[in-house]
Chain A
């Protein structure tokens, strides 16, 4: 194959990227954003503690155990989500049923839930006062459950999209050549879904490792990850030397994970025409049972806590529901909408730009995960040191939202670019289209589903406001999430009830966002209608 036509070659890739006058800007934009919002603040914080920086803290046996524990629970969660997620994802990808699209949107809701509310949701069925006759509080089971609640959806969604992108003709060919479904799975489907799973698992690892999640809340401080240690060193002890050393050690591990992912993804990248496989209705009893079990598991692991929160909110009564029309709530809802929109716009620009340069090197690809590799508290305090006069500005807060949201967009588009056959934009250009026009008319429609998928996850992070409490805020910037935390910062049954009602509102708001973001375009609807039509025409050759 000629170099220029081989999509894996540097030249092949460059076709997508060749916007010559704009190319510099394209490269600089994401790098400048990362430099200003992550690298510079972090360096500033490290510089502040540089004189006291010592690796002594790493000799502390307790801290070493914390690091090992962080690794163990992250690895176990990765394994579990993979084992559980794979069969579930297959069922959701292959079988059609009423409400399937809604289930796929609902899948993202755990991501939005503030940790404390999710904790309440888990304890409602399985806590000491739970409906179920089990009390999981303070047991490792509840920890794993908490981790699955947040992370299963990530793997599941990636798996569903991955299985849908398996080339239909290759699968059909394998089957018609006599391959058993099992063999067809290993030879055709598994290789196609691997890159999708790799990227989801990398995120799961980063999330669990840095202690974002329910485990800590449900297990108490015995199960604290190193991030809690860094937080207390920075925010309470102002011991920037030890915090810096610890943060660097953690970054070495998470950075290695991000680079490992970049390497895997680059290696597995396989461009090719994708004829999406449309899900079909289960035909046999076995298939129906599989689907039923998959949905039941999904409800048990990710749905139950949400349903519990919803149930408590509905049972809270009209006095608590009155919170929905309070001026504070309406203002918070408006802020949540406004901030999410702006942050998503920013995240989209940076995310697409980063995706377009990601294929150039392993480092650039790995850098997509930089926002999850660094310690959020270190970045927050670094920003404070570096830009003191800007710290209480909305621009900085929204940049922080965008920072934690954009990797999802960049990652999704980078993966879609890997699968984009270079011949398409090349053909357009050889027919006289400018590179920009070729991108806009040929590549972008191809990338659009990936963009919208990434955008949905990005929206979930902005609405859920990952690490929001670390940044300076103002009362007039109150969002739904901060309003919920405010209610849970005071004693009293009414506060709890209102927090739950507001959480239900947050879920509705997020669901509306997910549905809107992934609303099928006319093209997608047409494709789907075509794909689900009885395959009369394709059977002709056999006849």
Chain B
């Protein structure tokens, strides 16, 4: 192909040829979102057992990663992908980038369309405990309470158009209230001063009152209070933040791995998915990626007792998100950022 020749030529011309990737005998290309992290010895162990070299490629957050998979469908850039969650699985399946795989073994959460669940977690509101204690305010008991003057200018969330937790929170609202009620709620929330940040990091580190900002309520993860203890500077016995699990304000996220249609190294790719579900990885991922394991044999890390696990939350409806997600984001942008209806 012309373009395939053009690039190497240009690279030779610019003196970069020695850096071009060399063909490895067996290399498994794993596409992941940016949050993927496992201890190095565990990865080395897999390489040793399977005899392939892992080439981990980070492709932005989960939403951007799935779109990159879809765009390169004709020439897959990976053999296996990790990080496709229940809000994206419908889109990925509809675009035909997934080769179904069903491993043996039980899981506490599952995904449709031949994507193998690996871990799960919750997107929910987090509060700054010290702020609420200092200001003597009661905690809101419903999402609607957030639209009242008591909670004016207290909430920050990442933009659903540029952040997966933002989109997850919006999806939870819509699925619980129905579209019309949900967007009426967002209109009121806009008038009550909700702040929209670009991504989770911006919201958590520059707007959340626990860090640089002034807002004591932030859209984050249910495991964040546990992570606050794990990554605290002085040994904490109690988390400085807490979950605020409100009805319609909790999104259950199930993340999974999938074989990529047209990818190579099928045997190793299946082995990798099985490995992600193995007990050592399931135990490790809890404190590297801050998700709950789907393998019931994996023990829950003690630090997770600081995370108040939301109960009775139904997994999100993947089909509805795949079909309507884009319209929700467009309407949310219209209501919250453009000030429309």
Listed in ascending order, the chain A residues whose CB lies under 8 Å from chain B are: 29, 32-33, 36-37, 40, 48, 62, 116, 119-120, 123-124, 127-129, 135, 137-138, 216-218, 220-222, 224, 228, 231-232, 234-238, 316-317, 319-320, 342, 345-346, 349-350, 381, 384-396, 398-399, 469-470, 472-475, 485-486, 488-497
Contact = CB atoms under 8 A, between A and B. Distances in A.
A392 B196 CA distance: 32
A123 B213 contact: yes
Residue in B59, B60, B232, B337 whose Cβ sees the most chain A Cβ within 10 Å = B60
Count chain A CB atoms within 10 A of each CB in B16, B57, B63, B197 and give the residue with the most.
B16
B302 to A, nearest CB: 16
Given A349-B14, A494-B232, A470 B196 contact: no
B337 A222 contact: yes
Chain A contact surface mostly: helix
B68 A469 contact: no
Contacts of A496: 205, 211
A119 to B, nearest CB: 5
Given A469-B60, A493-B231, 13 more contacts: A33-B14, A119-B205, A119-B206, A127-B212, A222-B337, A224-B198, A237-B326, A342-B19, A393-B20, A394-B19, A398-B16, A472-B57, A492-B227
Contacts of B105: none
Contact of A120 (B195, B200, B205): B205
B13 interface: yes
B71 to A, nearest CB: 6
B206 A221 contact: no
Contacts of B290: 490
B237 to A, nearest CB: 15
Given A120-B205, A395-B19, A493 B233 contact: yes
Main SS at interface, chain B: mixed
Q: What are the 7 A-B residue pairs with the smallest beta carbon separation, nearest first?
A: A492-B231, A388-B75, A128-B214, A123-B212, A221-B196, A232-B161, A494-B231
Given A346-B15, A384-B68, A392 B77 contact: yes
Interface string B1-41: 00110110011011111011100000001000011010000
A317 B214 contact: no
A207 B204 CA distance: 26
B181 interface: no
Interface of B: 3-4, 6-7, 10-11, 13-17, 19-21, 29, 34-35, 37, 55-60, 63-64, 67-68, 70-72, 74-77, 159, 161-162, 195-198, 200-202, 204-207, 209, 211-214, 220-221, 224, 227-228, 230-233, 241, 290, 326, 329, 334, 337-338
B35 A489 contact: yes
A232 B162 contact: yes
B202 A238 contact: no
A234 B209 CA distance: 32
Contacts of B3: 40, 386-387
A40 B206 contact: no
A489 B201 contact: yes
A218 B197 CA distance: 9
B303 to A, nearest CB: 11
A116 B201 contact: yes
A350 B10 CA distance: 12
Contacts of B159: 221, 232
B13 A29 contact: yes
Contacts of A485: 201
B232 A474 contact: no
A350 B14 contact: yes
Contacts of B77: 384, 388-389, 391-392, 472
Contact of B67 (A29, A129, A236): A236
Q: Which of B207, B212, B338 has the most CB of A within 10 A?
A: B212
A387 B74 CA distance: 12
Nearest to A135: B214
A475 B220 CA distance: 24
